[in-house]
Structure 1
Amino acid sequence: MRVIVVGAGEVGSNIAESLDDDHHVVIIDTDSERIEAVTYSHDVLAIEGDGTSIGTLEEAGIEDADLVIASTDVDETNIVVCGAAKAVGAPFTIARIKKTNLLRTWEQSKGAFGVDFMVCTDLQTAAAIVRIAGLPGARDVDTFAGGLVQMAEFEVESASPIAGETVSEADRYESLTFAAILRGDDIIVPRGDTVIRAGDDVVVIGSEESVRAFAGSLTPAPTLEEAREVVIVGGSEIGYQTARLFEEQGLEPRLIERDSDRARDLAERLPGTLVLESDATDIDFLVREHVDESDIVVAALESDERNLLVSLLAKRLGVERTIGIVESGEYVDLFETVGIDIGVNPRLVTSEEITRFTREQQTENVAMLESDRAEVLEIEIDSDSVLFETRIQDAIADLPDGVVVGAITRAGELITPRGETVVEGGDHVVVFVDTRVLDVVTAAL
């Protein structure tokens, strides 16, 4: 497939990196330094030029393009790119946008602007925050098979009850599979005698009840249903969307916004949210408003440094869990080390969503872990699959290392897979796959 990506920033570069192994990728940007950087770092054709220009698109081979992804930082530019691509070719077009009003307009008139699929950065980021907040201690969460199956990634701290245990000892839940252990740069497929170490990230797949029970054993933090106090700091669009989604979950969050006009507007649009007008970096205000009693604080200001500061203040006051927006992807690990429990990078969330959409043509659902070091796939089994009417242990023996069948759903029922389990046609299997063997595995499944 020929893919044209317009915009070689963090989003475009991540998308190109995730697609260049399987597709012929062309990336366009007006910035010569970005073009030079992506030329050396990715196996793509990089073109310096304006993606809204017909001439540039023709140079990129628009007449043969199957997919055009517009991922610049300007919404209007991305929409124009898609319209221009449709004017001279027939590719499927994806536009990255930030303004939710553009998304709503497009949703009410599918195909508007020449855009076939639209990804809203702010809305996707807010959804990721709420998803992670819903499971104590989780670094990443996704659902499969219509909600029957949940995947979650947890960091094992030194005080964790499973640190030092074998997988067999830690596996105390009826419908749970330990899919992988991420240890430094290594991806370990766990066996019963594999020892879980402090500092490992553990990926589990199973029923929502089992995953929640496992999460509860790792941390005393409350689930979203149990949370009494959720505070959102910053009335940015991400902050607003996060509050709105929390309201949909039945919570009544508090939102702190410094600008009086914005605070008044948010109060009118969020009937279930208490909007407070103040500077959230004022520790006296935080104490006065009992922010220390909050279960979760979400830092959604428009500055990475201020989000870090708010998170540090919240932790100092005794808040159990902080989730912060980190716009600069290279700062996520640093900020998580010094003060934010979970850092959410909007550009990475967006690039993963776009990449996920391109992969869903081959699978039912896809989740990417650790910047696409591994993927969790949902696949419907047919007669061409190596799993068809075969015991899992026999099928896995014919596949490369780095594959774990985490769950099976059959006629709406969840089956916890074991080595002797026979997979039937029509089953949906949720599989953990090391990205290094992804092509071979997806072809076999």
Structure 2
Amino acid sequence: MRVIVVGAGEVGSTIAATLASDHEVVVVDTDSERVETMTYSHDVLAIEGDGTSLETLEEAGVDRADMVIASTDSDETNIVVCGAAKTVDDPFTIARVKKTDYLRTWEHSEGAFGVDFMVCTDLHTAETIVQIAGLPGARDVDTFAGGVVYMAEFSVPEGSPIAGQTVSEADRFESLTFAAIIRDGDVVIPQGGTAIAPDDAVVVIGSFESVRGFAGSLAPAPTLEEANEVVIVGGGEIGYQTARLFEAEGISPRLVERDHDRAREVAERLPDTLVLESDATDIDFFMREHVDESDIVVAALDSDEKNLLASLLAKRIGVDRTLAVVEFGDYVDLFEAVGVDVAVNPRVVTAEEIIRFTYREHTENVAILEADCAEVLEIEVDPDSALAGNRIRDVVPDLPDGVVIGAITRDGELITPRGDTVVERGDHVVVFADIEVIDAVDDAL
């Protein structure tokens, strides 16, 4: 497949790097340094030029492109890129936007702006934050099969109840599959006797109830239903959308915004949120407003440095769990190393959402884990799949190492996979796969 990616920033470069091994990728950017970096670091054709220009798109081969992904930092530019591509041919177009207004307009008219699919970075980031907040101790959360199946990644700190246990001892929940252990950046496919060590990351797949039960066994932190106090620091679009989604979950958060006009605006739009006008990096404010009694603090300010400061202040005064928005991807590990519980990078979650459209027709969803060391795929079983009509135990020996079948849904119902389970055509299968074998898995299943 020929894919044109316009914009070689963090989102575009992540997409291009992920697709380069399997697709013919062309990257377009106006920045000569970015173009040079892409040329020498990835197996792609990088072109310096304006992606809104027909001349540049034609140089990139838009007439032969199967897909055009517009991922610059300008919403308007991305929309124009998609519209321009449609004037030449009919590639599948994806636009990344930040403003939800554009998303709402696009949703009301299929194919509006010449865009086949639109990803709203701020909204998708807020959805990710609320999903992670709903599972105590989770570092990453994704849903599959229309929300029937959950995948979650959990850290195992020193002193965790499961540190030192085997997988069999830790697996006390119905409808739960231990898909992988990530240890020192390597993927370990666990057996029943595999020991779980401190500092491991554990990936589990199953029903929401079983995954939440497992989360509760790791840490006694409250679920969203039990949370007495949630504080959101920053009333920008991500903070606002996060508060709105918390309200939809029946939570009445507090939101802290320094700017008077913005604070008033979000207060009018969020009926169940208490908006406080203050500087949230002021520890005296934190103490005065009893933020230490909060169960969760979400830092969604306009800079990584402010989000780090707000999160560390919250941890210092005793907040159990902090989630911080991190715009610069290289800071994610740093944030978590110095004490922030979960760092969420909007560009990474956006890239993941876009990448799933590059998979084959029967791949319904994809989640990327741990700096692209593994993926979780949702695959609809067709007649050509190795699973169709067969027992799992008969198929697994022919699959490469590094693959775990985590869950099956049939007619919207969850089936916990066992060796004797027969997979039927039309089933949705959620599969964990080491990145090294992802192509073989995609071919087989």
Give the shorter-chain TM-score range: over 0.9
Q: Displacement of 1:23 after TM fit? A: 1.0
Q: Secondary structure at the match of 1:383?
A: coil
Give the Cα–Cα distance (whole angstroms) in 2 for the partners of residues 244 and 318 of structure 1: 26
Q: Which moved more, 1:45-54 or 1:423-432?
A: 423-432
C-alpha deviations, 1:390-421, integer Å up to 9, x for none? 22122110011011011122333322212232
Aligned to 1:367: 367
The answer to whether the 8 A contact 1:360-1:366 is kept is: no
Aligned to 2:162: 162
Q: Is 1:392 matched with 2:400? A: no
Give the Cα–Cα distance (whole angstroms) in 1 for the partners of residues 269 and 31 of structure 2: 39
- Pair 45,362 (structure 1): closer, same or farther in 2 beyond 3 Å: farther
Q: Secondary structure at the match of 1:422?
A: coil
Q: Is 1:232 matched with 2:232? A: yes
Give the Cα–Cα distance (whole angstroms) in 1 for the partners of residues 143 and 259 of structure 2: 37
Aligned to 1:264: 264
Which one-letter code corresponds to 1:164 in the other structure?
Answer: G
- Pair 293,370 (structure 1): closer, same or farther in 2 beyond 3 Å: same
Aligned to 1:244: 244
Map 1:324-363 to 2 at 5 A.
324-359=324-359, 361-363=361-363
Structure 1 unaligned regions, length at least 5: none
The answer to whether the 8 A contact 1:308-1:339 is kept is: no
Aligned to 2:201: 201
Aligned to 2:148: 148
Which one-letter code corresponds to 2:378 in the other structure?
Answer: E
Q: Secondary structure at the match of 1:423?
A: coil
Give the Cα–Cα distance (whole angstroms) in 2 for the partners of residues 10 and 392 of structure 1: 39
The answer to whether the 8 A contact 2:362-2:380 is kept is: no
Which one-letter code corresponds to 1:33 in the other structure?
Answer: E
Give the Cα–Cα distance (whole angstroms) in 2 for the partners of residues 123 and 368 of structure 1: 19
Matched residues, number: 445
Q: Displacement of 1:99 after TM fit? A: 1.0
Q: Secondary structure at the match of 2:377?
A: strand
The answer to whether the 8 A contact 1:155-1:201 is kept is: yes
C-alpha deviations, 1:66-124, integer Å up to 9, x for none? 11001111111111111111112221111111111111111122222211111111111
Aligned to 1:405: 405
Give the Cα–Cα distance (whole angstroms) in 2 for the partners of residues 419 and 171 of structure 1: 17
Q: Displacement of 1:360 after TM fit? A: 6.5
Give the Cα–Cα distance (whole angstroms) in 2 for the partners of residues 410 and 265 of structure 1: 45
C-alpha deviations, 1:295-322, integer Å up to 9, x for none? 0000000010110000011001100000
Aligned to 1:187: 187
Give the Cα–Cα distance (whole angstroms) in 2 for the partners of residues 99 and 414 of structure 1: 36
Give the Cα–Cα distance (whole angstroms) in 1 for the partners of residues 218 and 311 of structure 2: 22
C-alpha deviations, 1:217-236, integer Å up to 9, x for none? 00111111111100000011
Give the Cα–Cα distance (whole angstroms) in 2 for the partners of residues 415 and 122 of structure 1: 34
Q: Displacement of 1:368 after TM fit? A: 1.8
Which one-letter code corresponds to 1:266 in the other structure?
Answer: V
Q: Secondary structure at the match of 1:139?
A: strand
Aligned to 2:100: 100
Give the Cα–Cα distance (whole angstroms) in 2 for the partners of residues 152 and 69 of structure 1: 28
Q: Secondary structure at the match of 1:364?
A: strand
Aligned to 2:255: 255
Q: Which moved more, 1:183-192 or 1:358-367?
A: 358-367
Aligned to 1:41: 41
The answer to whether the 8 A contact 1:374-1:432 is kept is: yes
Give the Cα–Cα distance (whole angstroms) in 2 for the partners of residues 214 and 339 of structure 1: 23
Which one-letter code corresponds to 1:106 in the other structure?
Answer: W
Q: Displacement of 1:246 after TM fit? A: 0.5
C-alpha deviations, 1:250-308, integer Å up to 9, x for none? 11000000111111111101111000001111111111111001000000000101100
Aligned to 1:284: 284
Give the Cα–Cα distance (whole angstroms) in 2 for the partners of residues 297 and 420 of structure 1: 45
When the two structures are superposed, what TM-score results if normalisation uses the length of structure 2?
A: 0.98
Give the Cα–Cα distance (whole angstroms) in 2 for the partners of residues 361 and 335 of structure 1: 37
Give the Cα–Cα distance (whole angstroms) in 2 for the partners of residues 146 and 98 of structure 1: 24
Q: Is 1:173 matched with 2:173? A: yes
The answer to whether the 8 A contact 1:267-1:273 is kept is: yes
Give the Cα–Cα distance (whole angstroms) in 2 for the partners of residues 36 and 238 of structure 1: 32
Which one-letter code corresponds to 1:271 in the other structure?
Answer: P
Give the Cα–Cα distance (whole angstroms) in 1 for the partners of residues 191 and 420 of structure 2: 15
RMSD: 1.2
Give the Cα–Cα distance (whole angstroms) in 2 for the partners of residues 182 and 5 of structure 1: 31
Give the Cα–Cα distance (whole angstroms) in 2 for the partners of residues 426 and 86 of structure 1: 33
Which one-letter code corresponds to 2:350 in the other structure?
Answer: T
Q: Secondary structure at the match of 2:142?
A: strand
Give the Cα–Cα distance (whole angstroms) in 1 for the partners of residues 234 and 156 of structure 2: 30
Give the Cα–Cα distance (whole angstroms) in 2 for the partners of residues 57 and 412 of structure 1: 42
Which one-letter code corresponds to 1:227 in the other structure?
Answer: A
Give the Cα–Cα distance (whole angstroms) in 2 for the partners of residues 83 and 427 of structure 1: 36
Q: Secondary structure at the match of 2:363?
A: coil
Give the Cα–Cα distance (whole angstroms) in 2 for the partners of residues 34 and 178 of structure 1: 40
Give the Cα–Cα distance (whole angstroms) in 2 for the partners of residues 138 and 267 of structure 1: 30
Q: Displacement of 1:145 after TM fit? A: 2.0
Q: Displacement of 1:425 after TM fit? A: 2.7
Which one-letter code corresponds to 2:22 in the other structure?
Answer: D
The answer to whether the 8 A contact 2:185-2:370 is kept is: no
Give the Cα–Cα distance (whole angstroms) in 1 for the partners of residues 407 and 109 of structure 2: 37
The answer to whether the 8 A contact 2:182-2:202 is kept is: yes
